[in-house]
Every structure is written in structure tokens, then in C-alpha cells.
Amino acid sequence: MQISWRIGCLAAILLAVAILPASSQRGPTVILAQDELPDEETPGVVPQQEEASPQFQKQVVFFRSNEEPGTLIIHTSERFLYLVMGNNRALRYGVGVGRDGFTWMGLHKITRKAEWPDWRPPPEMIERQPYLPRFMAGGPGNPLGARALYIGTTIYRIHGTNQPHTIGHAVSSGCFRMVNNDVVDLFDRVPVGTRVIVKHAPAM
């Protein structure tokens, strides 16, 4: 009888656990507000959507330029990166750009390319945000996304992002971010040595 009583108690306990609401069996759910635009240095954020807004998705557009086909032209005020194709056409990608105080202009070249790059915040970022990790291995939670194209000898890159909803906004510390599908596409199209022109004035 004692054994039967113990088995009956154990069965009652297991039944009570099984019918508990699912929310009581797991930790709290963290929801990011859609209007919160994380800085470029925010690691490990899960994407809120898979693509950028429609106006910032990749497309071929009319584009007048005297630059050679294959040149990259970034218009920070427009939030677009153009890959010059010739015949007054360009492949246009939406990008996220530097926030106030972190925009810049210049003429450089792509000096290095990396797939699923590791992230090592430069000293300038660590000084501003000492809590940042000193190293993060490449992967889906890495702020640099699927690919990175390094610009000249600067600390800046054209790179992917795990935060697609930030495309079209001024949120970074000077780098140019793209949705991962777009940066993979661009990575495959341009070689090391590609000319990069960063402008602030709108395209004509």
C-alpha cells in the first residue's frame, strides 16, 4: 500500500507540472521596440525582419556618372550605395550610415574582403563604450553580418547586419551596413582594389 501511495503522489505531481501554462515554464520574453535603433556596436541582436524596407531593396536604376564601371559610390544623405554599371545605370543598394558626428566623405579602395568576419571593436569604440566585448567570432549574431569589405586604411567597412530594420537610417559609427543578402551579392561582384567614393550630397 505504501508503494502504491507513493506512485499515486508522483503521478499527481507530474500531472500538475504538465498542465502549467507554457509561460510559467520558461524565462521572460524580451521584445525590442521597433523605434529603437541600436548602434553599430550592439552585438547579438535578433533581426526583427528579414529584409529592408521596399525603397531600400536592391534594384537597377538610372544613374549618371563619369566613374568607371565597377566603382562604388555611397551617398550618405540618400542612404544608398551605387555600383556603377555604365550606360547611365547602376545597381543600387540601401545602406545604414553613420549617425550624427560619425559621417565622413572621401576617396578610397577596398583593401580587404572577409566572409563571416570576426569583430574586434577599435580602441575608439571601446573608449566610448567600455562594456563592449574585445572580440566576437563571426556568425549570425555578429554585428558585421555575413560579409565585410574593408575601406582603405580606415576603421570603416561595408558590412552585413543582423539588424535589417536599421537600413536607411543613420545609426552606425561610420561604417555602411547592408542586409546580409545584399552584402553577399556585392561581395561577389567587386574585387579588392575597387574604387570607393563616399559623398554626402545627393546623386544627380
* Every domain of the chain and the residues it spans: 54-199
Of the residues 75, 165, 175, 200, only one is catalytic, namely 175
Nearest-angstrom CA–CA distance, 75 and 82: 8
125-180 pLDDT, tens digit each: 788 878 877 777 778 888 899 999 999 999 899 999 988 889 999 988 899 999 99
- The residues, any chain, with a CB within 8 Å of residue 27's CB and separated by 6 or more, are none
46 vs 124, which has greater pLDDT? Answer: 124
- The residues, any chain, with a CB within 8 Å of residue 192's CB and separated by 6 or more, are 109, 110, 111, 112, 113
Of the residues 9, 108, 159, 165, only one is catalytic, namely 159
> In the prediction, which pLDDT does 16 show?
41
Average pLDDT score, the chain: 78
Active site residue 175: yes
> In the prediction, which pLDDT does 26 show?
34
Which residue, among 145, 155, 157, 150, has the nearest Cα to 182 in the 3D structure? 145
Could you tell me the strand order of the sheet in which 106-115 lies? 59-62, 89-94, 80-86, 72-75, 195-199, 106-115, 147-151, 157-159, 176-177
68-122 pLDDT, tens digit each: 999 999 999 999 999 999 999 999 999 999 988 888 999 999 999 999 998 787 7
Q: Which CATH architecture has domain 54-199?
A: Beta Barrel (2.40)
Active site residue 9: no
Whole-model pTM? 0.72
